[in-house]
Amino acid sequence: MKLLALDTSTPDLSLAIQHGELRIEFHETVGQQHAERALPELQKLLTAAGLRLDELDAIVYGQGPGSFTGLRIGAGLAQGLAVAAKLPLIGIPTLDAVAAQAPTTEHLLVCLDARMQQIYLARYDTRRGVRRQGAIELLDPAELTLTGRGWIAAGNGLTAYAERLPDGLLAQLSLHYSELRPSAAAYLDLALSGAYPSHDAASAELLYVRNKVALTSREQQAQRR
């Protein structure tokens, strides 16, 4: 298949193209320059792969959760490209992309920093593909619980709020891959698995999880106490 994958849910801009056996990637921390950098870097990848946009089979994008602004930029870019080239979209949750990069295990915990003293959290069994056990949650780190030991953790959520975690929780982890973030390469792997359906550009959806994107001044003061 010929696929383009993109993610703008974090300070990184992550792009990748799959063209048969060829895979070309761009992954760089760009801060708030996703909108300015995405199209030029995408064109470089297409040129390097010897492809035109309309020769792709689909565009894969990170649905979220993640940065509110970043997600909207990514979805808007994916939709615009899909409409222009008459291509379907494949939306994949960001935590699934992190899970795809972790070691295979029955007990995988993926946690990403959600800001506002909260984490995005999901549990996985990855022994036969990336299988999420339940919904993606938004949680206060102090409320996190694990049953038993031998868990593998991935993502930056636990390290971001280590001081807020319940006593002994880190001791339940056998390994912790805190450096893992959503990446376009992981989205390609997941899309190629066939586990995620394609849809038209008009049906693109984002997975915010959090309804509010900012705290009131009173809420901010309460969290500082």
Q: Answer whether 2-94+182-203 and 102-177 agree in fold.
A: yes
Among 213, 207, 220, CA closest to 74: 207
No. of helices (H) and no. of strands (E), the chain: 6, 11
Phi, psi values for residue 80, rounded to 5°: -60, -45
DSSP code of residue 213: S
Tell me which CATH code domain 102-177 carries.
3.30.420.40
Q: Give the residue carrying structure tokens 């689909």.
A: 58
Range list of H helices, the chain: 34-49, 68-85, 94-99, 157-160, 184-192, 217-224
Query: What amino acid occupies position 118?
Result: Q
In this prediction, residue 153 carries a pLDDT of: 98
Q: What is the pLDDT of residue 46?
A: 98
Closest CA to 28 of 39, 12, 17: 12
The domain spans of the chain are 2-94+182-203, 102-177
Structural contact between residues 169 and 121, judged by C-beta atoms closer than 8 angstroms:
no
> Measuring CA to CA, which residue among 177, 179, 119, 185 is closest to residue 152?
177
The CATH class, in words, for 2-94+182-203 is alpha beta
Report helix, strand or coil for 146. coil
Q: pLDDT tens track of the chain, all 225 residues? A: 999 999 999 999 999 999 999 999 999 999 999 999 999 999 999 999 999 999 999 999 999 999 999 999 999 999 999 999 999 999 999 999 999 999 999 999 999 999 999 999 999 999 999 999 999 999 999 999 999 989 999 999 999 999 999 999 999 999 999 999 999 999 999 999 999 999 999 999 999 998 754 443 344 444 444
Tokens found for residue 160: 């971001």
* Displacement of CA 88 from its chain's centroid (Å): 19
Token duo for residue 199: 């849809």
